[in-house]
Amino acid sequence: MLYKRTIGSGKDLVLLHGWGFSSALFDDLAQRYKRRYRITTIDLPGHGHSPDVGGGLEEWCCAIIKILPKNPILLGWSLGGLLGIHIAAQLPISRLILLASTPKFVQDDNWKYGIDANNFQQFANTLKIDLAKGLKRFVSLQSADKAKLVQLNLSIDTFSATTQALNQGLEILLNNDLVEEFKQLNLPIKVILGKRDTLVRPQILNWYAKIPVSTQLLDTGHIPFLHKDFKL
């Protein structure tokens, strides 16, 4: 069973984090919104307190679905957004919020909005050499708020991810195409992107607008919820 923590009261809001991190990444966000929502944070398989789960996208989403409250708002950041899309295609959720996320992370002849697979692999491999050091350097490029960085660095030092989970998460990011699945979703969707994001490039804003879904572009990098103007 995956680890989850619930605080607050109101409409259920579930937060799914990204590759290599843990649900502690959302501690500040959860505190800000706990009087408005009943917030559940989940550690992805092999991340934080959660055990490894064999398989890939299907198995990870199945493990998450088992502990979801009924008909929640589902918010996914980065890898968490990809998982959120696949979950939303399988069961009722009231709203989907994607933060710096996309239904396909890697570019090919039919998808110009992703990043080069080799570059992405090199980026991930560099992080895996010393995960804590790599993630700290990554978040240091996302915000100038020293207090937030101290909090994030503490969560990185405290909670890690297994080698199996890192490899599985990378495989999910590199090899899954949920573009058509995303187009078929019939529910309210909001997408928040970062103008300086190098992993989910802001040009995808144009594609999202054609679906159409509600989109917002903040002057931030790959972690838009660190921005002072971020609002759910």
Annotated catalytic, 177? no
Phi, psi of 23 (to 5 degrees): -65, -15
Is residue 66 included in any domain, yes or no? Answer: yes
Query: Which of the four pLDDT bands, split at 50, 70 and 90, describes residue 132?
Result: confident
Is residue 80 included in any domain, yes or no? Answer: yes
CA–CA distance, 69 with 94 (Å, rounded to integer): 11
CATH number at residue 62: 3.40.50.1820
C-alpha triplet 153, 227, 24: angle, nearest 5°: 35
Q: Name residue 47's beta-bridge partners.
A: 161
Is residue 168 included in any domain, yes or no? Answer: yes
CB 39 within 8 A of CB 63: no
- Short-list 95, 113, 120, 44, CA closest to 213: 95
Annotated catalytic, 17? no
Residue 227, pLDDT score: 81
Residue 3, pLDDT score: 97
C-alpha triplet 215, 65, 79: angle, nearest 5°: 45
Residue 17, pLDDT score: 97
Is residue 232 included in any domain, yes or no? Answer: no
Helix (H) or strand (E) holding 31: helix 27-33
Residue 146, pLDDT score: 73
Annotated catalytic, 197? yes
Is residue 100 included in any domain, yes or no? Answer: yes
> What tens digit of pLDDT does each residue of 179-218 get?
999 999 999 999 999 999 988 999 999 999 998 999 999 9
pTM: 0.94
Residue 40, pLDDT score: 98
> What tens digit of pLDDT does each residue of 87-127 get?
999 999 999 999 999 999 999 999 999 988 888 878 777 77
Is residue 231 included in any domain, yes or no? Answer: no
Domain count, the chain: 1
Residue 65, CA atoms < 13 Å, CB-side half-sphere: 17
Give the domain range for residue 100.
4-226
HEC letters along 49-114: CCCCCCCCHHHHHHHHHCCCCCCCEEEEECHHHHHHHHHHCCCCCCEEEEECCCCCCECECCECCC
Q: Which of 22, 23, 50, 78 is catalytic?
A: 78
